[in-house]
Each structure stands twice: as C-alpha cells, then as structure tokens.
Amino acid sequence: MSASHIPQPDTPALRLEGIVKTFPGVRALDDVGFDVRAGEVHALLGENGAGKSTLMKVLAGMYEPDEGSIYIEGEAVTMRSPLEAKARGVVLIHQELSLAEEMSVAENIYLGELPRKSLGRVDWKTLHSNAQAILDRLKCGFDSKRQVGTLSIANQQMVEIARALTVEAKVVVFDEPTASLTDAEKVVLFDIINDLKARGAGIVYISHRMDEIFTLADRISVLRDGGYRGTLIKSETNEDEVIQLMIGRALDLTRRRAAAKTGKVALQVEGLSCGKLFEDVSFELREGEVLGFYGLVGAGRTEIAETLFGLRKPSAGRILIDGTEVEISSPADAIKKGISLVPESRKEQGLVLGMNCRDNITLPQVGDLTKGPFVSDGAEIAIFDRYYEALKIKTPSWRQAVGNLSGGNQQKIVIGKWLAMNPRILIVDEPTRGIDVGSKSEIHDLIRTLAGEGYAVIVISSEMPEVMHVSDRIVAMFHGRIMRSFTTEEVTEDNLVAAISGIETDKVA
Amino acid sequence: MADIRHEIPADRAGRSGPDSGGKHKGGGMAHSGLKSFAGLMARQGILVAFVLFLIAFSVFSDRFLSAENIFSVVRSSAIIGVMALGVTVVVIGGNLDLSVGSMLSFSTVLVVDLHDKIGPGPAIVVTVLATLCLGAINGLLVGVARLNSLIVTLGMLSAIQGLTLIYSGGKNVDIVHQDTTWFKIFGRGYIADIPVPIVIFAICAIVLHVVMAYTPFGRRIYATGGNPTAAVFSGIRRSRVVFATYLISALTVAIAAIVLGSRVMGSQNNVGQGYELQVLAGVILGGTSLLGGSGTIWKSVIGVLILGFIQNGLLLLGFEYYVQWLVTWVVIILAVWLDIAAKRGRLLSPIA
C-alpha cells in the first residue's frame, strides 16, 4: 500500500465524470463519476443490475455513453471499440474467457498483432520469446507453445491476463476474475494484481466477494440502481458499511435458525453409482429438510443431481421416492415424478435467453397450460405474476427477453420456473453463483421458506458459508464418494474442509 | 402477440444511429430521431424495405401495382412460399433444410407420374406419404442421431436427386388428359376469383402461424432452437421436436409439389433445382435467425413476397431474366446487414 510508485499523484489514471447511459426503459448509468488513482486497486461493487457491467463496457469501448466524459491520465478520450480502448491503455479481463482454444498460448496472447518478418511471415521466434517473457512475469508454469484448449480454466485465465499485458496498461479492469479459480490460483492472481499496482497501473476490481475486496482494494466505490453511491476508503470502513451502501439497508447474514421440523422420507438413494463419476452414494431426504451437498468442483455433486433428474443413467443402485423404487428415464419423467432441478449454469442450462420472462417460467409445463389446442395466455400470465411478486423479480414486463435481466433476476426466473412445477423434491445446484449479496440472502431465505412449506430440498454449493447457513444437514463429497454427513450442530469449518479433502471419513450418511 | 419473441434485446436496440459517436452531450432531437428510426428498422426493417420497393417499382412501371400483376406475382411465389413456411419451422428449431429443392423434384415427378397410373387421389396420398418418409430420414439423422443438419440435408439434396432419376429413368413425365382431370384445380383453379395456389399458400401460412405462435408445440420449437440444452433441462424431448420440424418441412414440400405438378401438368427431373436457395433467401429476408429460436411465419411470407416482387419488377423494367439473380443477392445482403446494423446501432461491428 505504499504510495511511492505513483508517478503523478495529482492526475488520476482514470477519471469518470457524469457518465449517463440509457437503454429503452432503463437508465443503466445515471451520472456516475469517480476516479481511479495510478497504483491503487479500486473495487467496484454493486448488486446485480446496479450498472457495473454497463460501466465496464463503456470503459472497454463497447458502449458509448450518452453523456459524460472519460479522462485517462487527465486527457479526455472517446473510445469507440475495444481496440481503441486497448490502444489508450485500458484493458479488460473478462469474466468469460474469449480464447481461440485450438491455437497456442503465444498466438492467443498476440492474436491480431503477431510479430512479422519480411513478406508478412510470422516471426515465431520473437513471438514465443515475447510471450514467454510475459508468462514468466506472471509466474505461469506452462509453455508459450502449449495449446490453449489443453490448459485448465485457471491457466486460461492467466493467458487472458497475459494478453492484456502486451500493452503498457494504464487501467486494468478485472471482472469477477476469481469465479472459477481455486484458492491457490487466487493467491497467484492477487500477486499479479499487486505487481500491476506496483508498476503504477490503476486497477478496477469488480467482485461480489467481500473477503477478496477487503484483501485487495485500497478504495471501494459502490453503485446502486445505476447511480454512484460513494467511495469508501478500505482502512476506514467495514463489510457492514459497504453492504449497507450497496443494498440501501442493513443485512444480517449471521443469524442462526431454529432446527426445522421434518416430515417423512421423500427421497431415498441407496448405493447409487454412475461409472466413475460417483460411486456408492446413499442418503435420504425428508420433507421440510434442506440437505446440503458440499465438495470441490468435480466431486460428483452435479452428476448426482443430473442422475436424479433423468439426465444420466445410473450404473448401479436404487432410487426410492416415498418408499417406492423408481426408474427416472428422462427429465420429462423426473418432472412427472415431482422432481425439479435448478441447474448449475443458468445461461447454458436454465434459460432460453432470447425468450421472454413469462415463456421461460412456464416452459416445462406449457403443455398443460392449454385451452383447447392453444396455450392459454391468461394461465401463463397468472403463473408469471405469482412468481414475479413472490420472488420480487425486477423486470419492466413479462415481455422482456430474459437475456436482458441481471444475473440475480435471471436466477430468480429459473427458480420460479421450477417452483411453478410444484415439485415435491427440489434440487438447487449452485443457487447463488455470480449473484450479489442482496439477492443472495433473498434466495437463501426463499430456500428456507420452501423447506418450511414442506418441500424436500437439496442444495449443492461450493460456498461454505452458504451451505452452512442454508442446510439442515450437510453431506461432504470427495472424488465421487460421500465422505461424511453432518448435522448443523456437528459441523464446523474445519471438519467440513477436512471431509471434502478426503482426510476425515465417516460412512454413516 | 406473435412477435413477442422477436423483441430486440434492450441493450442493443436502443443504440443510436451510425454517426452518433463522440459528442455525448446535447444529443437532442436528431439523436432521439435516429434512435427511434433504428428501433423501427430493428423491429420492422423488413416491412419498411418491402414498402420502399413497392413504391420504387410502381413509380417506374404502371403495370406493377395492377391487381392482375400482383395476383400473378403472389401466385408464382406460392410454391416457394409454401416451402419457405416449412423451412422456417426447421430454422426456428435450430437447424437447416437444404434438401427441399430436390425433394420438390422427387415429389412433383412422383405425383405427375402416378396421376395417370393410379389416378389423382391415390397419387396425392402416395406422394404425401413418400415425401414424409424423406422428411423422416432427415428428422432421424438430425434429431435422433444428432448429426449436423447442414451435412445431412446437403447429402439428402444429392441423394434425393439420384432417387428421382432412378425412379423416372431419366425421362420427363407429364399428364395426358390435362383438361379433364380434377387434379388441375390445385395449380390452375380459382376460388372466389382468387387463384387456388394463393389460397393454399394463405391457408398453410395461417395454420403454421397458429401452430408456432399459439400452441405448446410451437413454444417447444422456439425453446429447442433458442437453447437446446435448456430445452432438455426443461423436460422437452428435443429429438422429437426436431424430428417433427422435418416432417412439417416435408409436408410443405409435398403440398408445393402438388401445386407445381397441377400447374405444369408435367415435370422435369430437376424441376426443384436451386429452389432450396430461393426458399432460404425468403426465410432470411424475413429476418429469421439461422441460429434458431427466433423468427415468425408471417415474416417469411413477406420475405418470399419481397423476392417475388423484386424479380417481377426487374422483368417489368425490362432487365434480362438473369439480372434478378444478382439483384436478389444484393437485396439479401442489404437486408441482413441492415437488420444487424439496426440492432447494434452501427454499420460495422465494434468488436473488429
């Protein structure tokens, strides 16, 4: 946090003044202005839909603001394309990777600006030595000749970062960079960010994770409903104050619940296996109960959910619903048997993004909402209205394409879609991935309410606080096996981590 | 109601016109004017273009807007039009059908040949069933075996052409007693002064529009084309849906073949050659996305009519027949470009 590297303390690396951006029916950014100093990490926070993404796209030259000015090192600039933005020293590290998987790391880093020899031939030597230099600076353990598609997601993200560093970056924007990283990879990323900072770049860091923000940031700016709500200095504030600024009210995430009243066994799984994906999985789920599945990515949790939803065929074991053995042959079959699955990835599996909100919610049951041979408009709107109100979905109308909603509201649409099926057994895979704090606690409350109403709920989550907060019992998985199951009284962070790392076992699930 | 799915994402529709960059302050009237123009083009660009064409041609040719000429254009567009309806359904479902051209050759040869052998009624029944079988092959390969629809239907285009030649032995076929058969009604008849091909086109368009816009089945097609994975996760049986879209496409080809056979009362072995591109051109002009999940039946009707009127207008203005091929291409490129440009608010993509 030393200020000695800041070259010109008076001119900020980036200054925004009165930025306004409107879309039909929405004022996405309303008079947003703040500055990012050279050599600081400036966290940008806000709930989904607060305008962070729009602001980022303005910075990257993908949107032109309707009003307002952008200054880079004191100079007013207009940026009409990402290339122009990059030429001005503004680079963006996307949340979603955009790499050519078939090409080498070096080619990806210098894509579009490969070094040339005479006759336009690519200068492979220079290319690889330049690329390797950047990789070394980032302490990447892979070769510049490696094919990108063969790298892990985390390493691909490193390539994305390396690509941004081919220019002398004045402003680097990170958008949720840790969403798919392991803890060890995060440490490396934070080192890189601190290195960039020491070289005098201004860093804009967008994230929902408070712990990261309080580790990294020097200052924190908050957006809410498209408006700028203030900038806090990290050393003079705390999480509560930031959250309050973000959601406009105080939030209590720490409260403990009374133990739930559970009913009879709704779902019983005995010795279920699916090839090597998961083996010998047994558990039971009661009405009114929330059963948490916790484990590392790849531990087999999602695959169990997909098997219960008829997307995979089990290789061994039995599934019993209300004590009767069943075979679940397809999602349609699972739905008929009262199982709903809110899938892991809302964009790929949960929603048809080009379709409107109402049609997405009613999609699984559209065949039953008929008057004669036709879909009944009234029945559909009634269902939409019910979940629009119950879940507090923010959308101008049901006609809005789901792709235009913020992540939190998209997630609510997926949840609404499956609640509308009135399932007995609700499986929720990563219920709050990529969702802001406010929506997160709303969704947690909702899951608890559903259990209170007698739903049998399975929650799969990679976030320990979430799984501990929302579950009545927690099953810890490691390498496709259930290592141990905990009640809320037994569970601690330590024994949970031990169980998912394969250290501690207890076969009584 | 029907075009609710065609709404433009709000984060793109409102982008201002191509030349609005740079000056952010004081956009004023011109700015919002451009905005609403872009919005109009994005939503109804194809209709605007259609009207502009009609006006332009009618200025240069007084015959162009006569009832006689309009009927004649619509009637000659009916065959391609009916096929375009079926292909629109396939494309909304997220696939392509390039086999419709040679399928039309096959079905027309079949119905004309069988007419004199087993009588018009049985000939029609056999033709419809045989064409549905061809559609079912497409449907099985694309829907159930999950093969790429471009490859499957391109292969079928060639295979069906071969099948047609094997069937006919390379000879052209015709109907002997052209004036006495009731079969002539489909291509040459009138109902209340309206040519029957137009009536058939209209009925097919209305039926398919209702299916696509108002039935659960239509909704499933949009969902499958829009996001196949999400459709499966919603309990939709994707292979059945895709299979059904190819049956619909084949059915429209059979109908088109009956109209064509009845109109010409004979058929060459390659009568449908090149139709697949005209059909696809009409669908694209109508604004149906080749990526699937969006588009409407009635816009494909407009797309086909635009093609028909452009080709007719060029002839009336005295251009050679083959000029229309070039102009058709230009029109399609412009239509697609304007559509995209209106959505993103600039002519060229910002992501170079």
Contact B5 A355 (CB under 8 A): yes
Residue A38 lies in a domain: yes
Contact A356 B223 (CB under 8 A): no
End-of-domain residue from the set A422, A454, A473: A422
More confident residue, B175 or B240: B240
Closest approach of A397 to chain B, Cα-based (Å) = 12
Distance between CA atoms of residues A501 and A505, nearest Å: 10
Q: Residues B109-120: what's their mean pLDDT? A: 92
Residue A2 lies in a domain: no
Residue B9 lies in a domain: no
Contact A352 B223 (CB under 8 A): yes
Is residue A94's pLDDT more than 80? no
Contact A331 B233 (CB under 8 A): yes
User: What confidence category does residue B56 fall into, taking pLDDT thresholds of 50, 70 and 90?
Assistant: confident
Residue B253 lies in a domain: yes
Contact B234 A363 (CB under 8 A): yes
Number of neighbouring beta carbons within 10 Å of residue A122: 13
Residue A447, helix vs strand vs coil: helix
Residues of chain A with C-beta less than 8 angstroms from the C-beta of B236: 332, 363
Residue A147, helix vs strand vs coil: strand
Same domain membership, residue A155 and residue A55: yes
Report percent pLDDT > 70 for chain A.
92
Is residue B18's pLDDT more than 80? no
Number of neighbouring beta carbons within 10 Å of residue A505: 13
Residue A461, helix vs strand vs coil: strand
Same domain membership, residue A307 and residue A371: no
Q: Which residue of B has its CA nearest to A347?
A: B230
Closest alpha carbon to B292 in B202, B227, B219: B227
| CATH number of the domain to which B116 belongs | 1.10.3470
Give the domain extent around A508. Answer: 260-338+424-509
| Structural domain count of chain A | 3
Query: How many CA atoms are closer than 13 Å to the CA of B84, on its beta-carbon side?
Result: 35
Same domain membership, residue A267 and residue A330: yes
Distance between CA atoms of residues A317 and A269, nearest Å: 8
Closest alpha carbon to A233 in A91, A37, A440, A461: A37
Q: Residues A421-443: what's their mean pLDDT? A: 84
Same domain membership, residue A187 and residue A58: yes
Is residue B97's pLDDT more than 90? yes
User: What confidence category does residue B246 fall into, taking pLDDT thresholds of 50, 70 and 90?
Assistant: very high
Residue A253 lies in a domain: no
Same domain membership, residue A445 and residue A477: yes
Residue B23 lies in a domain: no
Residues of chain B with C-beta less than 8 angstroms from the C-beta of A309: 233
- In this structure, which amino acid lies at residue A85? A
Question: For B4, which of A332, A374, A399 is closest by C-beta distance?
Answer: A399
Is residue B1's pLDDT more than 60? no
pLDDT digits (tens, 9 = 90+) for A257-298: 555 567 888 999 999 999 888 999 999 999 999 999 988 777
- Three-state secondary structure of A8-66: CCCCCCEEEEEEEEEECCEEEEEEECCEECCCCEEEEECCCCCCHHHHHHHHCCCCCCC
| Structural domain count of chain B | 1
Distance between CA atoms of residues B97 and B152, nearest Å: 9
The pLDDT score that the predictor gives to residue B216 is: 96
Residue B257 lies in a domain: yes
Residues of chain A with C-beta less than 8 angstroms from the C-beta of B288: none
pLDDT digits (tens, 9 = 90+) for A440-465: 888 888 898 888 888 999 999 887 77
Residue A3 lies in a domain: no
Which helix (DSSP H) or strand (DSSP E) does residue A425 occupy? strand A425-429
Residue B20 lies in a domain: no
| Pairing verdict, β A202-206 and A35-36 | unpaired
Give the domain extent around B204. Answer: 45-343
Residue A252 lies in a domain: no
The ipTM of this complex is: 0.80
Lowest mean pLDDT among A2-11, A33-42, A235-244: A2-11
b/e B217-232 (16+ beta carbons within 10 angstroms → b): bbbbbbbbbbbbbbbb
Contact B234 A341 (CB under 8 A): no
Distance between CA atoms of residues A297 and A479, nearest Å: 10
Q: Which residue of B has its CA nearest to A342?
A: B233
User: What confidence category does residue B36 fall into, taking pLDDT thresholds of 50, 70 and 90?
Assistant: low
